[in-house]
Chain A
Amino acid sequence: MKARAIQYVVLIGVAAVFLGPLYWLLSTAFKQPAQIYQWPPAWWPDLTWENFSLAWKAAPFDRFFLNSTIITVAGTALKVINAVLTAYAFAYLRFPFKKILFFAVLGAMMVPGHVTLLPNYLTVATLGWINTYAGLIIPGIGSAFATFLMRQHFLTLPTEVTDAAAVDGAGHLRTLWRVVLPMSRPMLITVVVITAVEEWNNFVWPLIVTNTASMRTLPVGLLILKDEEGLAAWGTIMAGTLLVLAPMLLIFLIAQRYIVGGITAGALKG
């Protein structure tokens, strides 16, 4: 009985460690600016929206939000389409040197993203894509891991169903759209959610490839805000931070089991 009590205390302690910083963010974002700089700190805010209007005055957060949304939606759509089409081809179609080509796709996983920064910046600059959505989106839409996950999943589907579709005279694209994808919904959602989270959180690439306020994304905007406002504006900065976190936190709460499913699939079966 005593052991159980200790276990519960530890469990609550763990919850506090992980929730504490998030509560600190939330409460600060809604505190009166003066309340933030009182000591000892107030644990409960006198609710106000003031920090948000201050944040909006300090930086074009609506524009950052729009940019982040555009690159997340477009980037995710293009990457997932790439993954699905490539995976379908590798799972269902014949082609000479198919195996080598598959290794060429998977091999991209061996290339660390951070190592590609400088050459990709130069490539994008050559293409005239600095400060453009193309420059922000296109370099990231190649897909190795998502292709791998989708293909492995396609291979587990019963061949009778696709064969039947072929006998019924359905072409490959029709089979993919009408038969294979509907049977792959959970894996598809997993890939979409994981990709969207990555796109939204992407930091170093948007930092490098944009230099005008109107093309910044939320995470980069946050860095600029923090550097400019410094210690003077923790309320403003926390309001901006909440704006970056809230959408992903919401998606996480809704699609939690798909995120967890995809991550453990990569670790335990991959």
Chain B
Amino acid sequence: MTIVDLPARAHPDEQQIAASNDQLKRRRRREYGLFALLVAPNLLVIAVFAYWPIIYNAFLSLTDWNMIAARPTFVGLANYGRTLTDPGFHKTLWITVVFTGLIVIGSLVIGLALAFLFNLPLKGRGAVRTIAFAPHILSGAAVATIWAFIFDPGYGLMRALIEPFGAEPPDWMNNSDWALPGLVIVYLWKNVGFAALIYLAGLQGLPKELDEAAAIDGASTWTRFRSIKLPLLAPITFFLLITTVIGTFQAFDVIAVMTGGGPGDATTTLSWSIYNEGFQAFNAGRAATLSIIMFVILLLVTTVQARVMERRVHYR
């Protein structure tokens, strides 16, 4: 590194101060200019494709528009009134909640179990952890296609696994009782490795002293799990809970490939409804209304998360 001796300026006269002030101002202006230049492209794209859509949605939700007519017709809050009292929408919301709930519970329970397994001193655990995590980074459309074949009642892997036990395989994706559980299985297969990985990182970050002290005091493995590890993992559980809810609410590719919201409306979630209203029924007003409803729900979820995380940081 070069060491630079700054020339000593013992008694600068007025002129020099004015000159250097000018120079400072110029430098600051150049710094501001550079900042604006570096940030502008990103901010512009964010403004147009993340913030503007919310305003646009809010406007469209007050209109009726088939996306062909020259301009939308203003209808006030009619879309909201119609949607919120529509039994179809209630069912959609219920399906979304059941779908999300099953996936959240499944991810947390199986993820935690897998994390404990991967934390045991077993040979090959690293490789298996990698294998379990891999589906998380794979294309949802491709994963869904594989599983559509696995669930195929004629020639699928599932039939090969079920038949030896004398059971008849269901026609998963065309049976309204089995389609949603089928989607949950695919979703868990794809994403449970993520929860396991996060839990494993958390487990490895836990202070060992507490657990060891409790073990010496004779606490059983179950007690140590319930009274020490689980509470210490609470922030991670909370993080996974929130991110899984946000992700599952927007789940689309697996549903689109496997069921298309059907059979009937058995797998029509809120995210599928937005697509269906907007891009198949060409009903911009109703799609926008559903989008705003989803936005508000997820905004509440995110805000709760931000609040809790903030509190956590404070008492740390």
Interface of A with B (CB < 8 Å)?
Answer: 4, 7-8, 10-11, 14-15, 17-22, 24-25, 28, 36-37, 39-41, 82-83, 85-86, 88-90, 93-96, 98, 101, 104-105, 107-108, 110-123, 138-144, 147, 164, 167-168, 172, 197, 200-201, 203-204, 207-208, 218-220, 222-223, 226, 231, 234, 237-238, 240-241, 244-245, 248-249, 252, 256, 259-260, 263-264, 267-268
Contact = CB atoms under 8 A, between A and B. Distances in A.
Given A7-B122, A119-B57, A141 B34 contact: no
B201 A123 contact: no
B43 A104 contact: yes
A107 B135 CA distance: 29
B178 interface: no
A203 B140 contact: yes
A194 to B, nearest CB: 9
B141 A219 contact: yes
Contact of A142 (B42, B117, B128, B302): B42
B128 A260 contact: no
A255 B50 CA distance: 30
Contact of A18 (B1, B134, B145): B134
A122 to B, nearest CB: 7
Contacts of A142: 42, 45-46, 49-50
20 contacts: A4-B122, A11-B125, A18-B193, A37-B155, A41-B155, A93-B38, A101-B43, A105-B39, A115-B57, A115-B295, A118-B279, A122-B67, A142-B42, A201-B139, A203-B140, A204-B275, A207-B256, A223-B256, A241-B142, A248-B137
Given A117-B275, A142-B50, A207-B256, A219 B142 contact: yes
A201 B138 contact: yes
Contact of B302 (A37, A110, A264): A110
Contact of B114 (A14, A110, A219, A252): A14
Given A24-B150, A219-B253, A248-B139, A95 B35 contact: yes
A37 B240 CA distance: 41
A19 B295 CA distance: 36
A200 B139 CA distance: 8
Contact of A123 (B49, B114, B132, B292): B49
A24 B149 contact: yes
Contacts of B54: 111, 115-116, 119
B75 interface: no
Contacts of B150: 21, 24
Interface string B50-93: 11111011001000000100000000000000000000000000
Given A24-B146, A267-B236, A222 B42 contact: no
10 nearest CB pairs, A to B? A142-B45, A119-B53, A119-B56, A219-B141, A116-B53, A114-B250, A203-B253, A89-B38, A142-B46, A244-B142
Contacts of A164: 1-2
A224 B127 CA distance: 35
B45 A167 contact: no
A218 to B, nearest CB: 8
Interface string B154-166: 1101001000000
Contacts, number: 273
A238 B157 CA distance: 14
Contacts of B57: 115-116, 118-119
B197 A264 contact: yes
Contact of B42 (A14, A40, A83): A83
Nearest to A102: B39
A110 B155 contact: no
A261 B190 CA distance: 19
Contacts of B236: 267-268
The CB with the most chain A CB atoms within 10 A, among B149, B284, B292, is that of B149
B122 A8 contact: yes
A39 B41 contact: no
Nearest to B270: A114
B34 A89 contact: yes
B6 to A, nearest CB: 9
With most chain B CB atoms within 10 A of its CB, the pick from A37, A83, A95 is: A95
A263 B193 CA distance: 12
B53 A115 contact: yes
B51 A197 contact: no
B299 interface: yes
A105 B42 contact: yes
B100 to A, nearest CB: 13
Nearest to B199: A267
Looking at B4, B34, B38, the one whose CB has the most chain A CB atoms below 10 A away is B38
A86 B155 CA distance: 52
Given A108-B51, A147-B42, A263-B197, A204 B139 contact: no
A171 to B, nearest CB: 9
Contacts of B201: 264, 267-268
A21 B43 CA distance: 42
A237 B145 CA distance: 8
Given A39-B155, A226-B257, A231-B154, 18 more contacts: A11-B128, A21-B157, A41-B157, A94-B35, A110-B299, A113-B250, A114-B249, A115-B292, A118-B60, A119-B288, A121-B278, A123-B48, A123-B56, A139-B48, A245-B142, A267-B198, A268-B198, A268-B202
